[in-house]
Amino acid sequence: MPTRARRPPMANGDTAVAPQFDDAEQQRTASNLGIWIFLATEILFFGVLFAAYAITRVRFPEAFAAGSRLTNLPLAGTNTAVLLTSSLTMALGVHAARHGARRALVGWLGLTVALGCAFLAIKAVEYRFDYLEHLVPSLDFRYAGPQADQVELFFYLYFFITGVHALHVLIGIGCIATIAVMASRNVFSPAYFTPVDVTGLYWHLVDVIWLFVFPILYLISRS
């Protein structure tokens, strides 16, 4: 990264730029770097769950396959499509922000929030079915086949991973809704839309994580 050759002697006059920064460009770069580092921590956060999953599955492959067959693939598949679509609407929202299209931005953000809520709603229905089928560990778990304990372990991980992911979706919805309100108040401009950009990156990452959660929980030995 090249060091800037000059910078103004003291705090700048631009109100949109915080006093510790020299200019809007530096502020934007810093925010971007910051959010990417944060996303790296998020990836590692989920990494623990993936590691716990990998090690437990390697030890009990058959129980995990049996557990996976009991998950609700139609709902989860639909949910994956919903989340991928919400990622599209978010990307289009960021695009609108960059080009100063305020109404389009608000619209896309609203649609993203709606899709996010749809994801959570479908998830809730899925949990409801799991509950009715007595698949909730510790609370109500009944399973007649072999290795019932290990199947329960699979469902423990299933609820833990999807639960933590759903929490991230919920936080994302909150952030996007806030951004949408800000956008409707005309806070953003092509020169300043960092919050939209940053929230978008977060939302896409939640999508990326789901892309790994989906096959490892729902797709083991369906054949």
Residues 113-172 that bind other proteins (CB under 8 A): 137-138, 146-147, 149-150, 152-153, 156-157, 160
Q: How far is the CB of 44 from other proteins (least distance, A)?
A: 4
Size of the site for other proteins (CB under 8 A): 88
Contacts to other proteins from residues 34-73, by CB under 8 A: 34, 36-52, 54-56, 58-60, 62-63, 73
Q: How far is the CB of 45 from other proteins (least distance, A)?
A: 4
**Piece in contact with other proteins (CB under 8 A), picked from 4-12, 120-128, 172-180, 181-189:** 4-12
Binding of other proteins by 77 (CB under 8 A): yes
Instruction: Specify the residue, 40 or 124, whose C-beta has the smaller distance to other proteins.
Output: 40
Cα R_g (the chain), whole angstroms: 22
Binding of other proteins by 32 (CB under 8 A): yes
Q: How far is the CB of 58 from other proteins (least distance, A)?
A: 6
Binding of other proteins by 75 (CB under 8 A): no
Q: How far is the CB of 198 from other proteins (least distance, A)?
A: 11
Q: Can you give the length of the chain in residues? A: 223
Instruction: Specify the residue, 70 or 160, whose C-beta has the smaller distance to other proteins.
Output: 160
Tell me how far apart the alpha carbons of residues 203 and 173 are, in angstroms, rounded to a whole number. 9
The 3-state secondary structure of the chain reads: CCCCCCCCCCCCCCCCCCCCCCCHHHHHHHHHHHHHHHHHHHHHHHHHHHHHHHHHHHHCHHHHHHHHHCCCHHHHHHHHHHHHHHHHHHHHHHHHHHCCCHHHHHHHHHHHHHHHHHHHHHHHHHHHHHHHCCEECCCEECCCCCCHHHHHHHHHHHHHHHHHHHHHHHHHHHHHHHHHHHHHCCCCECCECHHHHHHHHHHHHHHHHHHHHHHHHHCCCCC
Single out the residue of 17, 71, 92, 106 in contact with other proteins (rule: CB under 8 A): 92
Binding of other proteins by 15 (CB under 8 A): no
Binding of other proteins by 6 (CB under 8 A): yes
Q: How far is the CB of 180 from other proteins (least distance, A)?
A: 18
